[in-house]
Amino acid sequence: MNEPALLKEMDTIEFFKQNKEARRLYEMRQKALHDEASMIDGAREEGRQEVMQEAIQKGMHEGKIEIAKNLLSMAFDVAQVIEATGLSKDEIQKLKDEMMQ
C-alpha cells in the first residue's frame, strides 16, 4: 500500500469535513464532470445510431438496385421495375443503359 497517497487522501477527507463550502464546491464539480461524461456518452450513442441507420438505408437501396437489375434482365419493362422497387425512372434507365453496354 502506498502510505503517502493514503495520507494525502485522509488529509483531503479531513479538509472536506471541516469546510462545508469547499465540500459543496467539490460536489458541484463532480456533478458537472459526471453530467459532461453522460452527455458525451449520449452523443456517441446517437452518432452510432445515425451511422447504423445510414448503413441500413444504403443496404436497402443496393438491394433494390440488384432486384431492378434482375427484373430488367428478365425483360420486365421500366414501369414494372419502378413499381416493384420504388426506384426512380432515371435510376432504372441508368441501370438499363449500363446493362446494354
User: By residue range, what is the domain housing residue 11?
Assistant: 3-100
pLDDT band at residue 1 under the 50/70/90 scheme: low
| Measured distance CA(38)–CA(32) in Å, rounded | 10
Domain count, the chain: 1
Which bin fits 76, alpha (ψ -120 to 50), beta or left (φ > 0)?
Answer: beta
3-52, pLDDT tens digit by residue?
Answer: 777 777 777 777 767 777 877 888 898 899 999 999 999 999 999 999 99
Place of cell 453496354: 101
